[in-house]
Amino acid sequence: MKKHLLSIDDLTIDDIDELFETAAQMHDVQGRSVKKLPALRGRTIINLFFEDSTRTRSSFEIAGKWLSADTINITGKGSSASKGESLRDTVLTICAMGVDALVMRHGASGAAKQVSEWTDAVVINAGDGTHEHPSQALLDAYTLTRHIGSLEGKHVVIVGDLTHSRVFRSNIKLLRKLQAQVTVVAPATLLPAGAKSWAESSGFAISNDLDAVLPTADAVMMLRVQKERMSGGFFPSAREYTVGYGLTKDRLALLRPDVPICHPGPMNRGLEIAADAADAAQSVVLEQVSAGVAIRMAILYHQLAGEGNDE
């Protein structure tokens, strides 16, 4: 495995298999009364989050702690960054304390990559702008494999905002690596320039008719409408998005009852996903959260436990 985890592109198929395999063992630890493994004893992990996060940050923190690493959270708000310190100075300062890994979220695409060039610590991208969020894609795919087995040839429908969503980007890359058949459903205004040629080169389909693709779906991923990244104008109203692209009660009926429904959270209930779908028996939203800890334990273990990284 490469030293840093910045993008799904950094992972080979073997890496992904090993992460999933390790995550399955880590999942068992979650059920124990003593949730502690000594593998990362003496390692220090900093969660450096310049954007809001509940589940990603807490699940990286729990993952680190269960592996016996010392994990410390630093958020953009209330850190020296708000006093005008540059990202480079912040990172160098933290790393000068002797840190083994930085788990980083930042609003700028490519921030994690940039930081990895400044430091000797392992850098794990926990979301950079509209670029990538590899651990989320890994936990989504891992959750799906637990429900529907190997994803090879399975039809996965992803619905949401392709322009702004880093989860979307990482998910498409990972699902295509695992040879799933992917259909992206998004309003034309939320497809980035070049989406067509990207679809052609990496082999996924684009549709704007959700009703037409749901009956053949083996899994559905609903993505959050990211109000904070939109300055309006992408769709006329929330109501109109729901009518065209929301997983409503009526659309739920188009799905086979064994088709898992994913949502990375936080959910906008009533906007992209109706309460009927979010709370349906086939919804795996909370499983994704527990899988998130297992996957992040697997990531931290593989990036930090041994010596001899390739880079």
Point out which span in 28-36, 143-151, 158-166, 191-199 binds another protein (CB under 8 A).
28-36
> Does 209 sit near another protein (CB under 8 A)?
no
Q: Is 228 in the site for another protein (CB under 8 A)?
A: no
Q: Return the bridge partners of 103, or none.
A: 47, 124
Distance in Å, CB of 67 to another protein, minimum: 8
If one asks whether residue 117 binds another protein (CB under 8 A), the answer comes out as no
- Min CB(299)–another protein separation in Å: 11
CA distances from 173 to 130, 156, 169, 259, 297 (A): 14, 13, 6, 21, 22
Strand partners, 75: 49
**Residues paired with residue 222 on neighbouring β-strands, in sequence order:** 159
Instruction: Check: CB of residue 172 under 8 Å from CB of residue 136.
Output: no
**Can you read off the two tokens belonging to residue 215?**
């009956």
Which among 31-39, 53-61, 236-244, 258-266 is the span making contact with another protein, rule CB under 8 A? 31-39
**Nearest to 270, CA basis, from 238, 233, 235, 234:** 238
Give, as one character, the DSSP assignment of residue 84: T
Beta bridge partners of 102: 46, 123
∠ CA 224-230-234, nearest 5°, is 90
Q: Is 98 in the site for another protein (CB under 8 A)?
A: no
**Angle, in degrees to the nearest 10, between helices 13-30 and 166-177:** 110
Rounded distance, CA 112 to CA 135, Å? 13
Region of 26-34, 123-131, 133-141, 192-200 interacting with another protein (CB under 8 A): 26-34
Nearer to another protein, 53 or 145 (CB): 145
Does 206 interact with another protein (rule: CB under 8 A)?
no
| Position 32 contacts another protein (CB under 8 A) | yes
Assess contact for 223 and 245: CB atoms under 8 A. Answer: no
> What residues numbered 40-79 form the site for another protein, per CB under 8 A?
67
Separation CA 140–CA 162 (nearest Å): 17
Binding to another protein by residue 37, rule CB under 8 A?
yes
Stretch that binds another protein, among 78-86, 165-173, 266-274, 301-309 (CB under 8 A): 301-309
CB of 20 closer than 8 Å to CB of 149: no
Does 30 bind another protein (CB under 8 A)? Our answer is no
Of 25-33, 50-58, 225-233, 286-294, which part binds another protein (CB under 8 A)? 25-33
Residue 1 in contact with another protein, rule: CB under 8 A: yes
User: Contact with another protein (CB under 8 A): which of 10, 30, 39, 206?
Assistant: 39
Q: Is 287 in the site for another protein (CB under 8 A)?
A: no
- Applying CB under 8 A, the site for another protein has a residue count of 26
Angle at 115 between CA 114 and CA 118, to 5 degrees: 100
User: Measured in whole angstroms, how far is the alpha carbon of residue 19 from the centre of its chain?
Assistant: 14
| Minimum distance, C-beta of residue 197 to another protein, in the bound complex (Å) | 31
Q: Which stretch binds another protein (CB under 8 A): 29-37, 168-176, 182-190, 215-223?
A: 29-37
How many CB atoms are located within 10 Å of the residue 197 CB? Answer: 9
Nearer to another protein, 269 or 302 (CB): 302
Which residues lie across from 273 on neighbouring strands? 247, 269
In this chain, which of 203, 215, 266, 306 binds another protein, going by CB under 8 A?
Answer: 306
The residues that touch another protein, with contacts defined as CB under 8 A, are: 1, 12, 14-15, 18, 21-22, 24-26, 28, 32, 34, 36-39, 67, 301-302, 305-310
